[in-house]
Each structure stands twice: as structure tokens, then as C-alpha cells.
């Protein structure tokens, strides 16, 4: 990667762990400009007018329906908002595209998968790595929905380990075409795709991307998969039997298919995190409305403390993850802007910015999908028996949500990737891990403490610094043992996932703090600052306990004797957020939504 961040004031990818951040350098959804609000409203109007009227039909896969809705979205320009104008796109900024993806997530059926495939893993390989001829032939009609695209990576024996694919491509003697043989599975949109982005091993060992036209002899499809959820999405196996592909349809360079796969997945993870935010917002809205309507013991169930706890916790988790989403979006946007100012093309800047924040994209995928699963699970519980009935939207939301923890790389893979990406950048000296880690060791030896920050949120600023110190202490100690040959983190995935959770929780907590601080300076906001402060304090209380638990689990897994005692003592020192009345704070949040009869933050 060409890392050109010299002119960039924002943090590098992963650098949030090593440096302080300022709320002045982030973006929050409450400060959307008029253009972004107009685009958001256009998406909501499209959903209301084009998707909700056929919502019942989209409970199952109906031939031609996905294609029709996709074409209607393309007519409004909604498939090309992140694409260059030269190919029929609108070149909207990253934050605006995040808004679009976020609110499309509220659809709550398998069409969101179709939309995400077309605009993400379908178009991006062509944008990033296609030749000019390939872009004109395949990307332009993809943006207009004249051609539908699918992405063929997964195989029966290679899911998370994508590079072990067995599908093979061999060059003909005259060099004019490749012959592809193999099998792909779980391929979204394959049932109606015109263009197939396919990965195969050239000569059996050079992982390479290809563009394959639908209808090519030898390309056949399996039956539609019977899935737990996302029924409106087409999912089939794709078979290749002596499929001849012109040599000019190689995508990128021979043997560099991994660059296509990994770079596209970065954006896919960020988009998935955004859609999970939109879906969770809808889930909370349904929960509040039902809780107000449903009466038991002669009063609405919304008046009961147990239900208020659920509504408050749903909202707090969503609000925190939403803060992280728009923070990461803005980081990518700022780098992209600086790169273009420095002479990079729109496409180059888009690719580099997503690669730079690969770690943050992985975090968004994990926290977004797990938050969304929590929200829809509690939505079912709030609905009680009706939640288990197909008569309600929350039943389908529950089934549709579950896939998000699996595709775009399982959450386990993304947890491992988060720590691995950080350590690779440290080893390449792209990030200075050593200096802050040594400063933490010095602080522990001298017995000094982190001072309170200034102003109203000084305690929270101190807590974030302490969370980061806890991570540096635990990860630094584990890394030291590995360098000494006393620990093999590749074989100790539980430790890596403990540390990854500490990193993710800290990123979200800091993002939430930055948003609350910025909200404090806005003259116009949806609710009073008291509500936002309640969200902040509950989340920090919960994350303090969670980071303490994850840190302890990691430490006792690799340290012994005095070393273990010293690390545990340090961990206790760094996880001392003052206790608050979380019941009262959650009720305040819940009561706000109950009074508004829906999600109102």
C-alpha cells in the first residue's frame, strides 16, 4: 500500500489505540448537512414507496422482483453514489454513502443483500482492478443495473481460508483464453447475475480474479439454497466445467487475486456494519411501538422496569456503535480527500482509504453484527409470543440478522484480523507501539496515575486513556513472551480474541465519548444532553467491567506467579470507572423513546 498520510491530520488506521482523539476531528450523524439529509430522505422515500408495498412478496425469493427493485434504485442514482462520474456514478463523499447504506439497512429483508452485493463486492473489484475496457463493458452497466453482478469466492472446502480455493484456471496453448473448472457455493445474487467475479488458481497455484459472463457454456447453477433468513436474496452454488474465459477478462494481475478479495472485503465489512445500524434502529422502533400498545395487568408493558431495561439497553448499544460507524466513515473520508488533493484519482483514493482503515472496518463488522443480533433478539422477547409468530416483522428480522456474524469473514476471523493487522503495522514501523507501551510500564513501576481530563467529561477521558493502557499492557506482555519463544499467539486464539474485544470496546467507547462531547456544543439536537450523558455513563460502566474481564482472562492464560499478579494489579488500576445508578440511567433513555413512541435519537 502507498501510505501517504503526511498531510492528513486524522489518525492512521489503528492509531486510535496509541494517541488521543479530539471530538473536533470526528463526524456525528446529528451534523448532517442539507444535502446529506436530502439523500437520506430520498432513501427512506424509496423504501416507503418501492419496497414496503411489496414487503410481503419479499419474504421469499420471487423471480424478477430483486432485479426490478434494483433497477428502480439505479434510476434514482442510488447504485452509483460511490462511483466515479466518468462511469455514470455520482461521486458522493464517504459520509453521505455511509448514510445511504445505514438507512438501506432498515429495509429488513433480503433485498439489502442484493443491494450490498451489487454496489460492493460486485462493483468494487471492477472499479479497483479493472482495465478501462473492463470498466466500460462491465462497471458502467452495473451502475445502471443493466447488468447484475455476483462475487464467487467461497468454495465447499474454502470459506475463511479463501486462498486455499481449488477452482482452477489454465491458459490455452494459443494464449487466447483460460479454461476454468471448479465449484463455488453460497454465492449471493447468482440466480440472476449477468456478470460473475470469479477467483481461481491459475496453473493450480496462482490465486487470480476473472470476469465471467453469465450464460458462458459450462457455467451452471445449483438450486436456490433453503436458508434460515434473507429469503429474498438469491443464493446458489455455481459450477464451472471447462468454462472458456477470454484472456482479456483476467481481473488485475495473475497471482494477485488476494489483493482484490481482501480490499473488497474491507469495504464490505464497513458497509455491513452500517446496514446493521439501520436494521437495529428499525428493530428498536418496532420494540417501542409494541411495548406501548401491548397491555398486561391493565397497563402497557412499556411501563414495566424489565421492558424499560431492554429498550434502554438496545438504544445504548445502537447509539454507541452508530458513533463508531460515523467516526470510521469520517476517517476514511478525510484520507480520501487528502489523497485526491495530493493527485490521486478518485478510484485510487477510495482504495487506499479503505485499506488504511482495514482494522476499523473489521471492528465495525463485528460490533455492528453483534449489536444488531442483540437488538433483534430482545425485540422478539419484548413481543413475547407474537415475536415468535410470522405475523410480526421482528420474527423475520431475527432470522435475517443472524447471517451478519458469518459472511464478510466470520466474527472470529475478524477478531483475529484486528490484532494481526495492528501487530503487522507495528512490525513494519508504521505505528509506534513501543513508546506508549514503555510509558505504561514506567507508570506501573512508579505508581503514578492518569490525571482526570478537563471539563465535564474529564472522568471519561481518563477512563479511555486507562483502557488503552490496559490493552498496551496486556498485548505488550503477550507479544514479549512470543518474541522470547514462550508463547505462540497463532495457537492461542482465545487470548487474541480477548485482546481484540478490549480493542473493539475501547474504540466504540471512545467514539461514543467524542460524539457526546460534540453534541454538547450543538445548539440543535434531537434530545437533551441529559439523555446522551445517561447513554455515555451506562456504556462506560458496562465496558469497564467487560474490559476488566477480557483482560483478566487473557492474563491468566499466559502469565504465571509474580508476573501474573503484577499484570492483574495493573489491570485493576486501569479499570476503575466510578459506579453509577445504571437502572435510573437506562430508564431515562427508555422513557424518552416510550414518550416519543419510537426511536428518536
* pLDDT tens, residue by residue, 253-305: 999 999 999 899 999 999 999 999 999 999 999 999 999 999 999 999 999 99
If we measure between CA atoms, which residue out of 256, 115, 279 comes closest to residue 199? Answer: 256
Other Cβ atoms within 10 Å of 116 Cβ, number: 24
Cell of 600: 428518536
Burial zone of 451 (CB within 10 Å; 0-12 exposed, 13-18 middle, 19+ buried): exposed
Q: Is the pLDDT of residue 235 over 60?
A: yes
* pLDDT tens, residue by residue, 12-61: 999 999 999 999 999 999 999 999 999 999 999 999 999 999 888 888 88
Q: Is the pLDDT of residue 6 over 80?
A: no
- The DSSP letter of residue 452 is P
Burial zone of 305 (CB within 10 Å; 0-12 exposed, 13-18 middle, 19+ buried): exposed
Contact (CB, 8 A) for 70 and 51: no
Cell of 447: 505508581
Q: What are phi and psi of 483, to 5 degrees?
A: -65, -30
Q: For the chain, what is the radius of gyration of the CA atoms?
A: 24
What is the rounded CA–CA span in Å between residue 135 and residue 88? 11
In the predicted model, what is the mean pLDDT of the chain?
95
Coil, helix or strand for 161?
coil
Strand partners, 300: 295
What is the rounded CA–CA span in Å between residue 219 and residue 40? 39
Strands 195-202 and 168-171, by their bridges, are parallel
Side-chain half-sphere exposure of 192, counting CA atoms within 13 A: 22
- Return the residue matching grid coordinates 481449488: 166
Residues in the chain: 601
Residues 6+ apart with CB under 8 A from 565: none
Percentage of residues of the chain with pLDDT beyond 90: 93
Residues 6+ apart with CB under 8 A from 428: none
Coil, helix or strand for 579?
coil
Q: What pLDDT, on a 0 to 100 scale, did the predictor assign at position 9?
A: 61
Contact (CB, 8 A) for 406 and 239: no
Percentage of residues of the chain with pLDDT beyond 70: 99
| Active-site residue, selected from the candidate residues 408, 460, 461, 510 | 408
Domain ranges of the chain: 149-255, 432-596
Cell of 342: 495530493
Alpha helices (runs of H) in 428-485, residue ranges in sequence order? 434-446, 458-483
Residues 6+ apart with CB under 8 A from 553: 494, 498
Other Cβ atoms within 10 Å of 102 Cβ, number: 25
* pLDDT tens, residue by residue, 389-407: 988 899 999 999 999 999 9
Side-chain half-sphere exposure of 229, counting CA atoms within 13 A: 23
Q: Is the pLDDT of residue 123 over 70?
A: yes
CATH of domain 432-596: 1.20.140.10
What is the rounded CA–CA span in Å between residue 408 and residue 236? 17
Question: Cα 474 vs. chain centroid, distance in angstroms?
Answer: 25
Sign of CA dihedral 136, 139, 141, 146: positive
What is the rounded CA–CA span in Å between residue 490 and residue 478? 12
Coil, helix or strand for 14?
coil
Q: Would you state the CATH architecture of domain 149-255?
A: Beta Barrel (2.40)
Overall average pLDDT of the 454-467 stretch: 97
Cell of 460: 471519561
What is the rounded CA–CA span in Å between residue 454 and residue 461? 8
Question: Cα 307 vs. chain centroid, distance in angstroms?
Answer: 28
Q: What is the pTM of this model?
A: 0.96
Cell of 143: 451502475
Residues 6+ apart with CB under 8 A from 533: 516
Cell of 492: 492461542
Q: Is the pLDDT of residue 363 over 60?
A: yes
* pLDDT tens, residue by residue, 406-429: 999 999 999 999 999 999 999 999
Q: What pLDDT, on a 0 to 100 scale, did the predictor assign at position 391?
A: 85
* pLDDT tens, residue by residue, 221-230: 999 999 999 9
Cell of 158: 474454502
Strands 168-171 and 177-188, by their bridges, are antiparallel
Q: What pLDDT, on a 0 to 100 scale, did the predictor assign at position 164?
A: 87
Strand partners, 168: 181, 201
Q: CA of 565: how far to CAs of 475, 489, 562, in Å? A: 16, 21, 5
Write the DSSP assignment of 230-290 as a string of letters.
-TTS-EEEEEEEEEEEEGGGEESSTT-HHHHHHHHHHHHHHHHHHHHHHHHHHHHHHHHHH
If we measure between CA atoms, which residue out of 347, 174, 163 comes closest to residue 255? Answer: 163
Cell of 358: 482495514
Q: What are phi and psi of 79, to 5 degrees?
A: -90, -10
Is residue 67 flagged as an active site residue? no
Cell of 5: 498520510
CA angle 338, 339, 340 (to 5 degrees): 90
Amino acid at each position: 500500500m502507498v501510505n501517504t498520510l503526511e498531510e492528513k491530520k486524522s489518525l492512521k488506521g489503528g492509531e486510535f489505540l496509541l494517541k488521543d482523539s479530539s471530538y473536533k476531528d470526528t463526524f456525528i450523524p446529528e451534523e448532517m448537512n442539507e444535502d446529506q439529509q436530502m439523500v437520506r430522505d430520498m432513501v427512506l422515500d424509496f423504501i416507503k414507496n418501492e419496497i414496503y408495498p411489496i414487503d410481503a412478496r419479499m419474504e421469499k425469493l420471487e423471480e424478477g422482483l430483486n432485479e426490478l427493485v434494483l433497477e428502480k434504485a439505479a434510476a434514482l442514482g442510488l447504485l452509483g453514489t460511490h462511483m466515479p462520474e466518468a462511469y455514470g456514478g455520482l461521486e458522493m463523499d464517504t459520509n453521505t454513502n455511509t448514510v445511504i447504506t445505514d438507512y438501506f439497512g432498515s429495509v429488513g429483508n433480503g433485498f439489502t443483500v442484493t443491494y450490498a452485493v451489487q454496489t460492493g463486492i460486485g462493483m468494487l473489484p471492477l472499479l479497483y482492478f479493472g482495465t478501462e475496457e473492463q470498466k466500460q463493458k462491465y462497471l458502467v452497466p452495473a451502475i445502471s443495473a443493466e447488468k447484475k453482478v455476483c462475487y464467487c469466492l467461497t468454495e465447499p472446502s474454502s470459506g475463511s481460508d479463501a486462498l486455499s480455493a481449488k477452482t482452477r484456471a489454465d491458459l490455452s496453448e494459443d494464449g487466447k483464453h483460460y479454461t476454468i473448472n471448479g465449484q463455488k457455493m453460497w454465492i449471493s445474487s447468482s440466480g440472476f447475475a449477468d456478470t460473475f467475479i470469479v477467483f481461481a488458481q491459475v496453473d493450480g497455484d496462482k490465486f487470480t480474479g476473472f470476469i465471467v459472463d453469465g450464460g458462458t457454456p459450462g457455467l451452471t447453477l445449483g438450486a436456490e439454497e433453503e436458508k434460515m433468513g434473507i429469503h429474498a436474496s438469491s443464493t446458489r452454488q455455481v459450477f464451472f466445467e471447462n468454462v472458456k474465459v477470454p484472456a482479456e477478462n483476467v481481473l488485475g494481475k495473475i497471482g494477485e487475486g488476494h489483493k482484490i478479495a481482501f480490499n473488497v472485503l474491507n469495504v464490505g465489512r464497513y458497509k455491513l456494519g452500517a446496514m446493521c445500524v439501520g436494521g437495529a434502529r428499525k428493530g428498536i422502533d418496532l420494540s417501542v411501538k409494541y411495548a406501548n400498545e401491548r397491555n398486561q395487568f391493565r397497563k402497557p408493558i412499556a411501563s414495566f422496569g424489565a421492558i424499560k431495561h431492554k429498550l434502554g439497553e438496545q438504544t445504548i448499544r445502537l447509539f454507541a456503535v452508530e458513533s463508531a460507524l460515523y467516526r470510521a466513515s469520517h476517517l476514511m473520508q478525510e484520507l480520501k480527500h487528502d489523497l485526491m488533493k495530493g493527485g490521486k484519482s478518485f478510484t485510487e483514493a477510495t482504495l487506499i482509504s479503505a485499506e488504511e482503515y482495514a482494522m476499523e472496518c473489521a471492528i465495525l463488522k463485528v460490533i455492528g453484527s453483534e449489536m444488531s443480533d442483540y437488538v433483534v433478539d430482545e425485540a422478539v422477547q419484548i413481543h413475547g409470543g407474537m415475536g415468535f409468530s410470522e405475523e410480526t416483522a421482528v420474527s423475520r428480522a431475527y432470522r435475517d440478522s443472524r447471517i451478519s456474524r458469518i459472511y464478510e469473514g466470520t466474527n472470529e476471523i475478524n477478531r483475529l484480523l484486528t490484532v494481526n493487522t495492528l501487530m503487522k503495522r507495528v512490525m513494519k514501523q508504521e505505528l509506534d507501539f513501543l513508546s506508549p507501551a514503555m510509558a505504561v510500564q514506567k507508570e506501573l513501576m512508579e505508581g503514578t496515575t492518569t490525571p482526570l481530563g478537563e471539563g465535564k467529561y474529564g472522568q471519561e477521558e481518563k477512563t479511555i486513556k486507562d483502557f488503552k493502557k490496559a490493552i498496551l499492557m496486556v498485548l505488550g506482555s503477550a507479544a514479549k513472551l512470543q518474541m522470547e519463544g514462550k508463547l505462540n499467539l497463532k495457537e492461542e486464539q482465545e487470548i487474541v480474541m480477548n485482546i481484540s474485544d478490549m480493542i473493539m470496546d475501547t474504540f466504540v467507547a471512545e467514539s461514543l465519548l467524542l460524539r457526546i462531547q460534540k453534541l454538547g456544543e450543538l445548539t440543535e439536537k434531537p434530545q437533551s444532553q441529559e439523555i446522551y450523558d445517561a447513554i455515555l455513563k451506562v456504556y462506560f460502566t458496562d465496558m469497564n467491567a467487560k474490559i476488566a474481564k477480557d483482560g483478566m482472562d487473557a492474563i491468566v492464560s499466559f502469565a504465571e506467579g509474580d508476573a501474573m499478579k503484577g499484570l492483574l494489579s495493573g489491570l485493576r488500576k486501569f479499570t476503575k470507572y466510578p459506579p453509577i445508578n445504571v437502572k435510573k440511567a437506562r430508564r431515562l433513555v427508555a422513557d424518552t423513546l416510550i414518550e416519543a413512541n419510537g426511536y428518536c435519537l
